[in-house]
Amino acid sequence: MSHTLRRDVQHAYPPKRVPMVIRKPQAERVKATLARIRSLTGVSLAFAGPVDRDGVLLERFDGPVVGPLSGVKLPFGHGLGGKAATIQRPVVVNDYVRAPHITHQYDRIIRAEGLRAMVGVPVVVAKRTVAVIYAAFRDTQIIGGRIYDVVAAETRTLEHDLVVAHALETTEHPQGGDAAVVEENRRLRETLRDTYTQLRLLAARTTDSVIREELLRKAEQFTDQGSRPSALMLTARENDVLALVAGGLTNAQIAAALGLTTFTVKSYMKSLMGKLGADTRHEAVVIARRLGRLP
């Protein structure tokens, strides 16, 4: 199973490991991400905080900030953002001050800001949390499926942009010798592939056709299908299954993720392997990558 799909609390972000720095060009990408999230979801406030060795610093906002939220530093594990950064998974609360699964030393600030429902999604590059993206309401609305999908998809796209920028920077300004560069690029490729898998999974789960098409469009940006056209025709569900196979999931795990039976997954596998001319699952993934169907 790919590293993001199997993350657990036990894989907590190590507090003293210094992550990739978000420099000015990347900061502009964060700003654009927040603007898209607010525009697409109608949340009261979208905001973000870069992560350093000490935690999450809230410093980028799209929407009015009426309280003392700007400049707050969240240690790892604390508050919604500190928890998301630590466990490297999204955290959702629909009433912040009553949520039982986060710490509450920031309740006074949240009340002053008038925020209630909130989601925090970690931005993970090369297995390191580099930022947390938030979306929040000031009224009784909840963070439901469609809103969650938008925030998650925009965060995954931001991850992709940061991975590419970091890979270019690493290539142009290598540090620590060739072996370190090779290892860093390997981890970046793993992040790209994992993000693609997550986008396909989100698209498969959402019931909103507009959001689904947007998620699939973003996922295709990770492949070479546009620049390397192929006569190979896989159905949407076959592509979903192929993406999850590439992510390391078993047939049973794929069935659970997509809401299918194991028998149906096996049927899709048989069909897509036949189209690819592959004899094994591994060979199917290798051929699909060679054809530009997978990142």
Digit-coded pLDDT (tens) for 26-66: 688 899 999 999 999 999 999 999 999 889 999 999 999 98
Q: What is the pLDDT of residue 69?
A: 92
- CATH number of 120's domain: 3.30.450.40
**Domain-located, residue 1:** no
Q: What is the pLDDT of residue 231?
A: 57
Domain carrying residue 189: 9-195
If pLDDT is split at 50, 70 and 90, which confidence band does 6 have? very low
Per the model's pLDDT, the better-predicted residue between 76 and 212 turns out to be: 76
Are residue 21 and residue 164 in the same domain, yes or no?
yes
**Domain-located, residue 210:** no
Are residue 169 and residue 261 in the same domain, yes or no?
no
Give, in order, the Cα–Cα distances in Å from 16 to each of 21, 78, 80, 107, 186: 14, 16, 20, 26, 22
Are residue 112 and residue 157 in the same domain, yes or no?
yes
Calculate what percentage of the chain has a pLDDT beyond 90: 36
Q: What is the DSSP string of 189-205?
A: HHHHHHHHHHHHHHHHH
Final residue of a structural domain among 195, 212, 245: 195
Final residue of a structural domain among 195, 218, 247: 195
Are residue 78 and residue 171 in the same domain, yes or no?
yes
Our count of domains for the chain comes to 2
Are residue 40 and residue 139 in the same domain, yes or no?
yes
**Domain-located, residue 215:** no
Check whether 198 has a pLDDT greater than 90: no
Residue 176 sits at φ, ψ, to 5 deg, of: 80, 10
Contact 168, 188 (CB under 8 A): no
Query: Does the predicted model carry a pTM greater than 0.85?
Result: no
Per the model's pLDDT, the better-predicted residue between 2 and 222 turns out to be: 222
Average per-residue pLDDT for the chain: 81
Check whether 160 has a pLDDT greater than 80: no
Are residue 174 and residue 128 in the same domain, yes or no?
yes
Burial of 182 (0-12, 13-18, 19+ CB in 10 A): exposed
67-81, 206-220, 240-254: least confidently modelled range: 206-220
Are residue 62 and residue 171 in the same domain, yes or no?
yes
**Domain-located, residue 283:** yes
CB hemisphere CA count around 190 (13 angstroms): 17
11-15, 188-192, 213-217: least confidently modelled range: 11-15
Contact 203, 156 (CB under 8 A): no
- CATH number of 237's domain: 1.10.10.10
Q: Which two tokens stand for residue 102?
A: 């986060």
Digit-coded pLDDT (tens) for 210-226: 888 888 888 887 776 55
Buried b (16+ CB within 10 A) or exposed e, 145-163: eebbbbbbbbbbbbbbbbb
If pLDDT is split at 50, 70 and 90, which confidence band does 3 have? very low
Q: What is the pLDDT of residue 11?
A: 37
Are residue 121 and residue 69 in the same domain, yes or no?
yes
**Domain-located, residue 286:** yes
Are residue 51 and residue 159 in the same domain, yes or no?
yes
Q: What is the pLDDT of residue 168?
A: 53
Q: What is the pLDDT of residue 188?
A: 73
Are residue 182 and residue 240 in the same domain, yes or no?
no
**Domain-located, residue 3:** no
**Domain-located, residue 201:** no
Are residue 122 and residue 251 in the same domain, yes or no?
no
If pLDDT is split at 50, 70 and 90, which confidence band does 227 have? very low
CA distance 23 to 105: 30
CA distance 268 to 247: 16
Check whether 111 has a pLDDT greater than 90: yes
Q: What is the pLDDT of residue 165?
A: 67
Check whether 253 has a pLDDT greater than 50: yes
Are residue 140 and residue 94 in the same domain, yes or no?
yes
**Domain-located, residue 206:** no
Check whether 176 has a pLDDT greater than 70: no
